[in-house]
Amino acid sequence: MSAPTKNKKLLAWVAEVQKMCTPDRVVWCDGSKVEYDRLMAEMVASGMAIKLNEKKRPNSFAFNSDPSDVARVENRTYIASLKEEDAGPTNNWIDPVELKKTMTALYKGCMKGRTMYVIPFSMGPIGSDIAKIGVEITDSPYVVVNMQIMTRMSPKVLEVLGDEGEFIPCLHSIGAPLEPGQKDSRWPCAPIEQKYIAHFPEENLIWSYGSGYGGNALLGKKCLALRIASNMARKEGWMAEHMLILRFTNPQGKKFHIAAAFPSACGKTNLAMLQSTVPGWKVETIGDDIAWMKPGKDGRLYAINPEAGFFGVAPGTSKASNPMALESCRKDAIFTNVVVTDDLDIWWEDMGVECTGGTDWKGKPFKPGQKDAEGKKILGAHPNSRFTARAELCPVICADWENPAGVPIDIFVFGGRRTTTMPLVHEALDFNHGVYMGATAASEATAAALDVKSAIRFDPFAMTPFIGYHAGDYMNHWFEMGDLLGDKAPRCFYVNWFRKDKNGKWLWPGFGENSRVLKWMCERVESKVGAKETAIGLMPKEGDLTLDGLNIPAEDWAELMKVDKELFKATLDDAREYLAKLGSKLPARMMVQFEALKKRLG
């Protein structure tokens, strides 16, 4: 087919990739329903996709990946900056010349026997001042249909790009060429040692090879929206963050916009789609994973959700934990590595619905409660199994979620999973203190963590795997954004939903009740409630955080809000050791905040 653009740079790049990868044909994608339906029909016919029960799950499909290709491969993910010191200690670095040499050899002929798809897409509402255009080239139809849900794909993207416009090139191949007559695999991919997810920050270029799964292959997601975008944002004076965005409206109709960063397993998607338990207060979802934020003409920070869909972890998503996410998957959804039930619906662990049997993610017969030879429970769905759902189908999606101007952010929230030490909520003394709080956000190490010898794992702004440059420079960019925004900078808060008592019982009910904490934050922004100053920051005064209807004993509430100075002092050594890893690029203001906290703790 002829190219639907006259953009010389794009045409030259497509021709260059075609010559290197030697596909059988080239298809320019338009994001249409006809295209989506055709690709799905082809994948069902090949055995790659399973058409689900049309009555129970309209226009929805299930896929099962190869067991070696189930998650992001951090140890095969690289920031190939020209200088190693620019990648920093949180990233894997390879010399870009050497990496391109290695990957070019892999790319040669890699699409033989396959179709090369060219996907022009917009991250963010098409034409938004905050949005960016990317073009992904891939040989995976699975990637095409997922990108159609997760990004804005339409001929309008090429119209906005025009003949001279700039785009971010994203090259992807599953790395499985086909010889004439060779039968294709159900889920083709390359061996782990040949997988590469490479970012070239000076060129705003992404190369991915060997994996067909998730963020390794849907290059608009973590690769572009965070790793490359974070570096672009630093240079251009905006922010690309691993944050949900929500609107919280009070009974008088005043709207507050909150952006929140949490590490994995800390309830990020649940908070984005929260069902408020505070009478008259309403939560609406703008984004569940990524926020791009840019100063507006009025000096405030405006945010868009660059994505058009939800790429959520399935296990644990249930009617109890997140009914809105489940409802978003009611139709037009893609499921990967879940159980396909006998009646062709889907199921996963902790979904909260009955499953009498089906086929597990490895294609084997499955019944809940099955155990292996060692007596261990067999999981039907992979722990990292996913659903891809259209954001527009979320029942609580905000009317302004596609507003090209974005929404003004009032509040930043940081957090982690801590069973002790950290209280339910506290507010930063000022923006610089808030940056310190976000930069030292931490969760307790689990038995599965590589750094289990450490008491806590630091994950600055929940961005450790996604900062596209040196983490010290990244922290400094936060300080500089605060300088730029001045008194219009969002207020900063830290939350911990996971405090336990000595018997291991949760002290806070969480889920919808977290809206009570958000209400206190909004009332702080409006100066409707005061706060008491403590060594770690500002905390609610007695009675200011609404507890009506909650059965929380006074001693539990006291423990939830307790600031144990000795416990906090014990974490300072961990923080100092972590920050020291950033070397000479650690912002001086971080240590100013560290010493001030140490002094306040006495």
Catalytic positions are 266
Tally of CB atoms within 10 A around 574: 16
Count how many Cα atoms sit within 13 Å of the Cα of residue 195 in the half-sphere of its side chain: 21
Enumerate residues 6+ apart whose C-beta is below 8 A from 377: 369, 370, 371
Query: Distances from the Cα of 91 to the Cαs of 86, 420, 468, 487, in angstroms?
Result: 10, 30, 8, 33
Comparing CA positions, the residue from 12, 28, 10, 29 lying closest to residue 20 is 12
Tokens encoding 523: 């009332």
Q: How large is the C-alpha radius of gyration of the chain?
A: 24
Q: Is the dihedral of CA 56, 62, 67, 70 positive or negative?
A: negative
Comparing CA positions, the residue from 129, 126, 123 lying closest to residue 218 is 123
Please, what's the b/e burial string for 473-486 (b: 16 or more CB within 10 A of its CB; e: otherwise)?
bbbbbbbebbeebe
Tokens encoding 370: 């099955």
Q: What is the DSSP string of 346-412?
A: EE-TT-SS----EE-TTS-EE-TT-B-TTSPBPPSS-TT-EEEEEGGG-TTB-TTTT-TT-EE--EE
Q: C-alpha angle 306/387/110, rounded to 5°?
A: 80
Tokens encoding 112: 């033989």
Rounded Cα distance between 582 and 578, Å, is 8
Count how many Cα atoms sit within 13 Å of the Cα of residue 272 in the half-sphere of its side chain: 28
Burial class (CB in 10 A: 0-12, 13-18, 19+), 232: middle
Is-contact 162 97, C-beta < 8 A?
no
Tally of CB atoms within 10 A around 372: 8
Is-contact 127 155, C-beta < 8 A?
no
Enumerate residues 6+ apart whose C-beta is below 8 A from 580: 586
Enumerate residues 6+ apart whose C-beta is below 8 A from 276: 248, 282, 283, 512, 515
Rounded Cα distance between 585 and 476, Å, is 9
Query: Distances from the Cα of 42 to the Cαs of 175, 206, 245, 338, in angstroms?
Result: 20, 28, 36, 21
